[in-house]
Amino acid sequence: MLRAGGIVLGGSFVSGSATAADGATTLTVLSYNDIQTAAAEDKNFPRLVTLIEQRRAAADGPVVVVGGGDQVGPHALSPISQWRAPVDVLNEVDPDADVIGNHEFDYGFDPISDVTADSGFPWLATNLVDSETGDAFDGTESSEIVNRGGVSVGLIGLADQGATTGKTNIDFEAEGVTIEDYTETGPAEAKRLKEAEDVDAVIALAHTGIDDAELLAEADADDDIDVVVVGDDEQRYPPEAVDGSIISEARARAAFLSEIELTIEGGEVTGFDGRLIEVTDDIEKDPTASQIINDYRAEVSLDSPVVETETPLNATFGANYHRETGYGNLITDAMRERVDADAAITNAGGIRSDSVYGPGEITGGDIFNTLPFPNTVVSLELTGEELVETLESQVITLESETGQSFGEEISQQTSGLRFEWVPHEDADELVRDVYVGGEPLDPDETYEVAVNSYIANGGSGYPLEDKVIEDTGELQATTVVNYLEEKETIAPEPEGRMQRVDRDLPDAAVTVDGNGKVVAQFDAPDDVESVAEDTATVWTPEGDHLDAEHVAFDEGDERLVVRVDDGDLADTVEDADDGDELPLDLYAEYESSEYEQIYFERSRLNADLTATVRRRGRGRAGPPGR
């Protein structure tokens, strides 16, 4: 039974004072997770090293230091150091154990043994076992027991399907590894450690994300797992009692350190206190850690400027998973140009660092930090039908489990393409109205598409295996750097390449003659409660767009009226001839009575417009002599 603040809580935790009573010991658990891109920067990582030493020194009793996985990748130094830069720094930390996460497999399956051999601490993989022996696979351990200050602590390492087969290209079955159910293996190993090894506390290093860590706590019926240190989904989750276990996650990229103080009394955990400590700029950098990182950086001149940007380069997860970004456009434009392809696609998860760069000077290190994987640029041949299937593979619907947590997502960035995506389970098509190079997609036509090698091999669920026609062998980051070095300044912005649509308005026809106003009226769907006037925009297939000058919605008769300036609209289709009929799209955001958006502020409407061009009265010059 656990006790917080000296009060018995009937088997459940409440955070409070963990001051040890007579005969009790305070065990401090320090943890971090998902170091990733911070491993290549002389910023937070050396400060985290200092903070760990400070909290070790301040502890009132024994200390255990552990990691939650995803420490050795991805980062900007991986092309030259692979796992070595982060491992060299972590060896200075001298943790008691870490857990194998999906990014520990960034360099392949066999190099895991090299990672663990170079580490001065054990890497745990309790539920990733040798299919023949049932032991932890080569280079890893099933568990670790730490005896310190009269306290015995059992450590186990767990990963779920999402952090193994879901986020790597490793064929675990072919490698002779079985992925056991972490909710069964974890509690069973915790029970063994407590009963057979007589440990006082069990800490699970769980590279599962918070939701699955809570499932682990729920599955641990006898409450043998006292603490769950979480990694993978990179949440800021201060220590909290859940179903008899204390769960904590320190976000990612060395931004926080989790500190949990356990009261150990009579061979069991009886109380706790905990917090997340932010890694701030006023914490001094550990000089050895800084030197390790800077020595590696010097080998590849990561601090040299390559271009000036007039607009921000947004490498945040939230932006790149949910919508088109200027930086995503730049990356895919560089890829498409590199192989002279019709289109280019890159996965949102391959754009890292979760930071924004510029406006201002951009260095090579900035690019490698945002594209840290050793992925090369690859050229494929896809039919139009296969191209649509590829784009659809990344749409996350609002109704899905992921959509209910993070909102509807497009999960990729593209070049040479324009299309609409409809993120709902009842949609007839998840991706529609696709244009390639400004022309409607032909399902039977063959298109050359540039991608990175990770998704070419089926990563992130892309259906692209066995379609490669050329691997350039050039790193994706190098391709982008080379592309930028040819330019003095850049100003990438969203161009309407990927248009989100939740509901459709009826089709409409308008005439564009350059005089007066163009007015379109629509019967709105039943779930429209209001329309945001400043969001209505008309787009051409080429990416030109015009904001509406007036929008009116009558909730009583569910009537939507949109007005644009005819002269401005005519300018957007200036290359069209008299009598031409052009496809246009109207988009507008609205408050929905049906869709409860998780990420986006509002839902989005679309109407297909057919614009007939009339040039009379526009003064267009004719042939000489007229």
Phi, psi of 129 (to 5 degrees): -120, 155
pLDDT at 616: 62
Q: Rounded to whole angstroms, how far apart are CA atoms 212 and 253?
A: 21
Q: Considering the domain 501-613, what is its CATH architecture?
A: Sandwich (2.60)
pLDDT at 574: 80
Q: What is the CATH number of domain 301-499?
A: 3.90.780.10
pLDDT at 570: 85
CA dihedral (456, 457, 463, 468) in degrees, to 10, reads 50
CATH topology identical between 301-499 and 501-613? no
Whole-model pTM over 0.85: no
pLDDT at 303: 84
pLDDT at 370: 95
Query: If DSSP codes are grouped into helix, strand and coil, which group holds residue 121?
Result: coil
Domain regions of the chain by residue span: 3-292, 301-499, 501-613
pLDDT at 620: 39
Query: Among candidates 86, 91, 67, 89, which has minimal Cα distance to 76?
Result: 86
pLDDT at 298: 84
With contact defined as beta carbons under 8 Å apart, do 378 and 451 qualify? yes
Rounded (5°) CA angle 46-51-53: 100
* Average pLDDT, consecutive stretches of 10 residues, N- to C-terminus, the chain (626 residues): 34 45 89 96 97 97 98 88 96 98 94 97 97 94 97 98 89 96 98 98 98 98 98 97 98 98 96 98 98 89 90 97 98 98 97 94 93 93 97 98 96 98 97 96 97 93 88 94 95 97 96 88 96 94 90 92 91 83 95 97 97 67 34
Q: What pairing do the DSSP bridges indicate for beta strands 498-500 and 417-421?
A: parallel
pLDDT at 357: 97
Tracing tokens 């918070």 back to the chain, one arrives at 210
Helix and strand numbers (H, E) in the chain are 15, 40
Take residue 296 and report the two structure tokens written for it.
């590696």
CA end-to-end distance (rounded Å), the chain: 97
Name 144's Cβ contacts closer than 8 Å, sequence gap at least 6.
Answer: 96, 97, 122, 124, 154, 155
Alpha helices in 396-526 (DSSP H): 401-406, 453-456, 476-485
Can you spell out the DSSP letters for 551-568? EEEETTTTEEEEEEEHHH
pLDDT at 3: 36
Assign domain 3-292 to a CATH class: alpha beta
Q: Rounded to whole angstroms, how far apart are CA atoms 536 and 126?
A: 54
Q: Which long-range contacts link 467-472 to residues 24+ away (Cβ below 8 Å)?
A: 467/380, 467/381, 467/382, 467/386, 468/378, 468/379, 468/380, 469/379, 469/380, 469/381, 470/339, 470/378, 470/379, 471/376, 471/377, 471/378, 471/379, 472/338, 472/339, 472/376, 472/377, 472/378, 472/379
In DSSP terms, 156 is beta-bridged to 143, 204
In DSSP terms, 144 is beta-bridged to 155
Amino acid at site 424: H
With contact defined as beta carbons under 8 Å apart, do 185 and 158 qualify? yes
